[in-house]
């Protein structure tokens, strides 16, 4: 039976209550303790710190099961950095403010209309959406139409693909260029549109060593859902050849990436059966992996990835910070090697992906990829964000392609004349750096 509430508490019971309250206070104090910036999360201390907090969130709550596996089994180390705002080019911000209010999304056709430039769907629009599939499409359209780490034109090179095996270590480097010019939504240009039917012209091509220089492709990606126009250079016969537009499902330049894995996603939103917003969370990510873009991109590969302890391949020297992220899941067409792709999109500027997981046709985990970035100066005087490192790891093969950026020139004044299939022939000749 319960005692009457008016019954006097006995002295012994009072001492017990005081003791329990004191223990509770100690527990709450321990829970409130924050890890310091610069603390490195590793296999050696993960179990001890997983319940500690950083910026008010426990470490364990900000890690996916697979990131925990990378820490415990693959020597991933995470130096903690306090989060800071994502830096967008000021003209991109202005275009979003000017045009996003007029953009329309049709859930029946999954088409976007009345978009001119900037993000078509700012965070407030996504958060107000009650249909998770519509919200998923909106996030993917943001990246497709107005990616936050790519200007009106961009030239990325200087390093390229670094291939490694979990057990046997570093294999080789293939220098590469990854350039594109946006044909619509040119937020930093007086004329926002060059060709209303084309989203971008792009080439991803190996520049060295000479025996594989020229491998890659040149593509034209359309605003509607038709497949790309694609060319490749066949070095043995010194000729350009048209390829199937479905090469987005094929391996990229002999790497562990598919063409669709460029920047984590490079296909048209409507090529997928569906995109769906699965939730919103806080994760540790390399959004500002470094505070010195020039210094990071000048490092050697030995200073950028683990080549000392097996299994090899994890990024080193990059900071991880709490980022609020949308979780979106894409369901692939039946002929695609993947069954689905799960992406974590930056929530502050939902036009860039922080991390991704890819699953095979049997639904088994296959690949992991993460994008590291930094604040950088654009050639036209603006300040924005640029990628620095992009590890893509095939865990079924125990192999990876660590993409490193040596330089990135944003809004450098490129023209359509610079983006023709013949650039592949130039790369094959060894004349492209």
Task: Return the residue matching tokens 């965070």.
Answer: 123
387 found inside a domain: yes
CA distances from 120 to 42, 114, 130, 142 (A): 39, 9, 17, 6
330 found inside a domain: yes
395 found inside a domain: yes
316 found inside a domain: yes
**SS3 of 194, please?**
coil
421 found inside a domain: no
In this prediction, residue 2 carries a pLDDT of: 29
Instruction: For the chain, list residues with pLDDT below 70.
Output: 1-32
Q: How far is CA 359 from the centre of its chain?
A: 17
19 found inside a domain: no
Q: How many structural domains does the chain have?
A: 1
The boundaries of the domain holding residue 290 are 153-172+264-411
165 found inside a domain: yes
282 found inside a domain: yes
In this prediction, residue 31 carries a pLDDT of: 54
CA distances from 63 to 66, 67, 68, 71, 91 (A): 8, 6, 6, 10, 34
Read off the pTM: 0.92
In this prediction, residue 123 carries a pLDDT of: 98
């Amino acid at each position: 039976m319960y005692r009457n509430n008016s019954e006097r508490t006995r002295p012994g019971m009072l001492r017990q209550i005081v003791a329990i309250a004191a223990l509770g206070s100690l527990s709450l104090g321990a829970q409130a303790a924050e890890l310091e910036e610069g603390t490195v999360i590793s296999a050696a201390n993960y179990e001890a710190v997983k319940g500690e907090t950083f910026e008010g969130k426990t470490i364990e709550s900000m890690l996916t099961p697979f990131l925990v596996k990378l820490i415990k089994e693959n020597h991933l180390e995470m130096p903690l950095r306090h989060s800071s705002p994502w830096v967008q080019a000021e003209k991109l911000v202005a275009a979003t403010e000017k045009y996003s209010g007029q953009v329309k999304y049709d859930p029946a056709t999954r088409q976007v209309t009345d978009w001119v430039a900037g993000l078509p769907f700012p965070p407030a629009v996504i958060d107000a959406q009650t249909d998770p599939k519509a919200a998923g499409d909106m996030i993917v359209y943001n990246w497709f139409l107005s990616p936050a780490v790519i200007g009106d034109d961009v030239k990325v090179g200087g390093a390229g693909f670094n291939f490694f095996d979990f057990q046997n270590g570093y294999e080789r480097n293939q220098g590469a260029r990854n350039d594109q010019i946006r044909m619509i939504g040119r937020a930093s240009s007086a004329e926002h549109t060059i060709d209303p039917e084309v989203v971008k012209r792009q080439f991803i091509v190996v520049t060295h060593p000479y025996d594989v220089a020229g491998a890659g492709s040149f593509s034209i990606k359309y605003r509607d859902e038709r497949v790309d126009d694609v060319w490749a250079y066949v070095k043995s016969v010194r000729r350009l050849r048209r390829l199937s537009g479905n090469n987005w499902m094929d391996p990229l330049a002999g790497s562990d990436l598919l063409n669709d894995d460029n920047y984590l996603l490079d296909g048209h939103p409507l090529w997928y059966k569906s995109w769906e917003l699965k939730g919103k969370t806080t994760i540790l990510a390399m959004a500002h992996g470094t505070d010195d873009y020039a210094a990071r991109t000048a490092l050697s590969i030995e200073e950028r990835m683990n080549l000392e302890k097996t299994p090899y391949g994890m990024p080193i020297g990059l900071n991880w910070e709490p980022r609020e992220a949308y979780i979106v899941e894409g369901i692939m067409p039946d002929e695609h090697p993947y069954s689905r792709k799960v992406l974590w999109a930056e929530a502050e500027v939902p036009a860039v992906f922080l991390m991704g997981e890819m699953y095979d046709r049997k639904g088994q985990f296959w690949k992991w990829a993460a994008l590291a970035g930094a604040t950088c100066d654009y050639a036209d005087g603006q300040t924005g964000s640029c990628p620095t490192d992009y590890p893509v790891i095939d865990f079924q093969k125990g192999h990876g392609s660590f993409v490193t950026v040596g330089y990135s020139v944003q809004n450098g004044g490129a023209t359509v004349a610079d983006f023709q299939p013949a650039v592949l022939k130039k790369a094959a000749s060894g004349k492209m750096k």
